[in-house]
Structure 1
């Protein structure tokens, strides 16, 4: 069969473009005789992070050394991905004929079954142009994204039933005709509801939902609001607030702060006052705030949810990446996922949210129907919703 010249030319251009970048967070060079374990480590690190391209037959300095003729390199890399990585991973590979020699271009996507590990039980991630073993916190986030571990169910050290607002808990349970105060063993009841652990500590979810002062133990579990006078973060700051407390209070307070900071130019139309320009309905902001508090990664310390109001846009920024099964493209059409299933369950029961997966498509449609820009983005370890004004 005659090779498709356009197909090969496209790949030649791609290989040259990758080589010109040098080794970085998404590109790695390997010689043709690289050890299988070394190649497996590269694939694992890319798959555990954001994916990347592996060029086999290219030296560290970018020189093309080529592939040996006696080896089926595509079969070899497929076997490595299947037998030297746990769990096995799917890759794409193609041999590209360059003037200096053949190069195997291997493309590794962000893995769906993360976290991946070596046969020596090492979990690796890609940082810059190197691989390193994931720290405890990074590994925790990988397991969270895979849905194998839920941080909101973990115990908050140093807490007990005295850290809970029992009046708020009683109001919650009374809607199900259950009198919490009448129970002798409140701790057991709350453990069954995932508000506490069997050992008597309050869970992350329990503290965030019903804590008297959640930020005493989880200091960054709040919302930071900032209103800028222009379109840049360097502009004059009109208003700045940090909103703390239980999650329901955070959502209600942040919504009120946002409402007070949004100018609503109006005109008299007959006997009524009407908005002079399109204004997002309040349910849009409520949905984005609820989405931020229920899906943020509470294992990430040092960063709050941020709401930033500019002249031309509003940014809702939540610490933590999307789970493995969720992509940016899926969000606008609806996808169900729960990073914090206990928090989601309670917030849904408290009527802060509708059915999981319906909110962001609603926000998307309202923005698009009124010719407003809307973007969902992952930047570093954060998820952003950018809403054009």
Structure 2
């Protein structure tokens, strides 16, 4: 992975990531360091930490990523790509794609054989020239062909179109490069007997591709009722469309346009729980952690980016604003809709964004926010923090930075202190050990009473025994908390029939490790049956036959 990664040794994945520890941490660290230096080419830098958890010692190895001019690294002479839970040997095409990044790529400036000015869309061309002249004094008096050549729509010879010009302004770019398109499909539950619905292959120049993608997303998503701070519901798009538009535009404009990706397209996949947007090629000149920050902007295809800043869709809006603030706008839009921020996955040869389809806040929480008279207005971040506090979650400065990145320590402290000022939260501890929790009078329920079905928890929480301060209710006919702390809520989540791990996590409001631990203990006790197994695609869990009588 371009950004390196972290290895934690001393957890048993088969036991729900239970802590088992390491008997000789120093020897293990020396072994890992030796492997990184001698078994990998070029050698990798690894930093080690030891952590004591439940009386056992864990070894945490942080592997630093390699700079682009040294990638890919190889083990046994082969380069590998991380996909899901496996490592796969990279194809020669993927290796060449990585090697091409060692120098500043200019793939979009390549002249496309067989193209001429006649292959440009007349309306797009007219609007582009008008905008280009109005935004540049030097171009305002120049001839059309000179403007197009200087803006890299035309190749230097003034005869052929560049790849950027064809892609952004061509009447039908796919005549020359079929992969300059979008494939979109709705992924269905495998039990339905069908794999996809509304499979489409969108074509045309970038503005048409963007508009077609937006129409497809709107067609296949619902209108949701969002509850504002006043507790009243309003009809809004299920996924904020401003976020979708920014992410699709980024995928189109920043995709890899090299010869090694000519068979790959931008892809949209809509699942029950999320929208997936993927494009060939990874980040260039910016890390995943920098996305959404002030300095986190870099144009992979610089000429295409510049052209698209001056290109309008049929509705008159720019394809991209060109200010580098698109990711921040995406994060703001999702946060405003009480949804999790997008997940970015950079694999070097591809880039994927996962956009949630469900709001984090339950209706009763939003109603509570509308009815609670805080001493000061709450930000979107504070609303999400305080509702999770309401269900017993304790927050720290570092947890806020992880959950709402990009956000620095000063901003995180301001959000937390604001809740104290508003009279909703209280503090405990001092300096780096300061924790923030809800004032007792605002807890969702007093200790010992049932809590709501949906429990909002940030994902970066240790697993069993978890940090809940309120007990999960025991359900009639199902397992109690003596089986597992989260067994009752998982049992309730299975009340609608067989479900995948993701569906159970969503219904129960638990993290993946919490859900896996609860399922394992419930299977051992006979409360849950499984069809498939860990690592098997489409694995389904259901209430045990001995319990339900089915």
- Report the TM range for the smaller structure's normalisation: 0.5 to 0.7
Q: For 1:211-236, what per-residue CA distance to the aligned partner results, in whole angstroms no more than 9, with x for missing partners? A: 12211111111111111234999864
Work out the CA distance in 2 between the residues paired with 1:357 and 1:264: 29
**Residue range with higher mean Cα deviation, 300-309 or 350-359:** 350-359
- Cα deviation for residue 127 of structure 1 reads 5.1
Provide the residue aligned with 1:61 in structure 2: none
Q: Which residue of 2 aligns with 1:293?
A: 252
Structure-1 separation of matches of 2:309 and 2:237? 29
The 3-state SS of whatever aligns with 2:244 is: helix
**Shift in Å at residue 282 of structure 1?**
1.5
Distance between the aligned counterparts of 1:228 and 1:280, measured in 2? 17
Show the counterpart of 1:381.
349
1:111 alignment counterpart: 66
Check whether the contact 1:205–1:342 (CA below 8 A) recurs between aligned residues: yes
Which of residues 76, 85, 89 is equivalent to 1:129? 76
Unaligned runs of 5+ in 1: 1-8, 20-26, 31-38, 47-52, 54-90, 95-105, 117-123, 268-272
**Aligned-partner SS, 1:115:** helix
RMSD of equivalent CA atoms: 3.8
CA distance in 1 between counterparts of 2:92 and 2:282 reads 17
- For 1:130 and 1:234, the matched residues in 2 are separated by 42
Out of 263, 275, 285, the residue aligned to residue 302 of structure 1 is: 263
**CA 1:93–1:109 in structure 2 vs 1: closer, same or farther (change >3 Å)?**
closer
- Correspondence for 1:173 among 121, 129, 134: 129
Q: Distance in 2 between matches of 1:109 and 1:226?
A: 36
User: SS at the partner of 1:175?
Assistant: helix
Aligned to 1:192: 150
Inter-partner Cα distance in structure 2 for 1:43 and 1:233: 47
Pair 232,312 (structure 1): closer, same or farther in 2 beyond 3 Å: farther
3-state SS of 1:239 partner:
strand
The answer to whether the aligner puts 1:358 opposite 2:330 as a matched pair is: no
Distance 1:190 1:159 in 2: 14
Match in the other structure for 1:164: 120
Question: Are 2:286 and 1:326 aligned?
Answer: yes
2:250 is equivalent to residue 283 of structure 1:
no
Instruction: Indicate yes or no: 2:166 matched with 1:207.
Output: yes
In 2, Cα distance between equivalents of 1:150 and 1:238: 37
Which residue of 269, 273, 286 corresponds with 1:312?
Answer: 273
TM-score by length of 2: 0.46
CA 142–214 in structure 1, closer or farther in 2 if over 3 Å, else same: same
TM-score, normalised with respect to structure 1: 0.64
CA apart distance, 1:150: 1.8
Which residue is equivalent to 2:528? none
1:126–1:369 distance in 2 versus 1, CA, 3 Å: same
In 2, Cα distance between equivalents of 1:265 and 1:140: 41
Structure 2: how far apart are the matches of 1:297 and 1:232? 36
Structure-1 separation of matches of 2:204 and 2:237: 32
- Higher RCO (CA < 8 A, seq sep 6+): 1
Q: In the alignment, which of 144, 151, 160 is matched to residue 107 of structure 2?
A: 151
Partner of 2:389: none
- 1:222-233, aligned counterparts within 5 Å? 222-230=181-189
- Inter-partner Cα distance in structure 2 for 1:279 and 1:309: 12
Distance 1:331 1:357 in 2: 10
Aligned residue pair count: 292
Give the unaligned 5+ runs of structure 2.
1-23, 49-60, 80-90, 227-231, 312-317, 358-550
